[in-house]
Amino acid sequence: MPKDVSPSDQKMWPDLIPVLPHDLALECLSRLHFSLYPLASRVSPQWRHLLHSHFFYSHRKKSGHTRYLACLIQALPPQFSPRALKHTSSPTYGITVFDPLTLTWERLPSVPDSALGLPLFCQTAGCRGSLVLMGGWDPVSYEPLTDVFVYDFRTTKWRRGKEMPSKRSFFAMGSCGDRVYVAGGHDEGKNALKTASVYNVGEDEWWELPPMSQERDECEGRMVGEEFWVVSGYRTEQQGMFEGWAEAYGLRSGQWRGVEGVWERGRCPRWCVGVGKDGRLVSWGELDSEVRVGVCGVTLGSRAMVIGSEYEGGRHGFYVQQGQNCKLRNIRVPDDFSGFVQSGCCVEI
């Protein structure tokens, strides 16, 4: 019997597959492709409860059966734009999902009450098999929003989460376990912020964190080990003068610390910060001459997806980085999924 399968687990989900021992039936179900979850959930109440449980996600993760998906905030083709926005210069955004193993593309259903597309500059993070989306601007009024939405890949449905405690734009965001961390950005008066909060997805609750040592607008968030790093950014009176250091929040210590010399001073970090195998920060825009402008990178386990163009106004290319030589391999993209990518994150399912 696998170490993470206890007698209590067998009592909770008995007779998963009547002709098979419990541990073997669990192993079979753990290999199901995530796209089959909605259909498999109809087989029996036991299957539905198992597939929707945190235990099943943890078991798949320990068994090495999870897979990494890139969830991209992407401009939609004109035919998908709402009528209210067809005659404006602002593109309509949706969420594209790319599977690097099968090289398949699909688009998630629209978030609730989003007839005009996603909020502009909204942020996303992966969290225990779910996608969390929050913040951004109303696509018509450009007013900052505090909306939070959670998409569960097991049920293929969106739900509303508890709203953000305050309005903030261009903030840092990162996730670990069932928690999403946000820090910095700016308020409605364009004042840079040093405040931080954490959202517990399972409990649908927000908690305030200790503030950083200084304000950081247009910063970028990354998880490095057991720390939430807020990279670069600038203070209100130093518009566009990006810092060369970061602040790291220890998930265990509950304290911030400064990390010097981790980013090129003056370089905007938005959506182009990666974490190398040695734990050091890297700029996705320095990997290859073909991805210098409008760069967005997403780490997908041992792979990385990088999107960008060679020069201003150039066609965006889509690449996958894999292997020890770290070279980028161009991938073919269907026309409906070739739009500009604003940002992205990884969801492990």
The model's pTM is 0.91
Model pLDDT, residue 3: 40
Integer Cα distance of 144 and 135 in angstroms: 7
Helix (H) or strand (E) holding 57: helix 54-63
Kindly give, in sequence order, each residue whose CB lies less than 8 Å from that of residue 50, ignoring residues fewer than 6 positions away.
13, 16, 26, 29, 56
Within-domain flag for 35: yes
The per-residue pLDDT for 115 is: 79
For residue 310, which phi and psi values (nearest 5 degrees)?
-75, -30
Q: Is residue 20 part of a domain?
A: yes
- Domain for residue 346, yes or no? no
Is residue 315 one of the residues assigned to a domain? Answer: no
What is the structure's pLDDT at 10?
A: 53
Q: Which domain covers residue 27, as residue numbers?
A: 7-63
pLDDT at site 71: 98
**What pLDDT score was predicted for residue 323?**
62
Task: Give 2-49 pLDDT, tens digit per residue.
Answer: 444 444 555 566 788 888 888 899 999 999 988 899 899 999 999 999
Identify whether 55 is part of a domain.
Answer: yes
Please indicate, yes or no, if residue 30 is contained in any of the structural domains: yes
149 lies in some domain? no
Tokens of 172: 């840092």
Of 249, 243, 272, 123, whose CA–CA distance to 197 is shortest?
249
Q: Which residues of the chain carry a pLDDT beneath 70?
A: 1-13, 79-89, 323-326
How many CA atoms, within 13 angstroms, populate the side-chain half-sphere of residue 146?
Answer: 11
50 domain-assigned? yes
pLDDT at residue 18 in the model? 87
Give the pLDDT score at 324.
Answer: 55
pLDDT value at position 88?
56
Q: Count of domains in the chain?
A: 1
In 3D space, the residue among 235, 227, 287 whose CA is nearest the CA of residue 259 turns out to be 227
- Give strand pairing partners of 274: 282
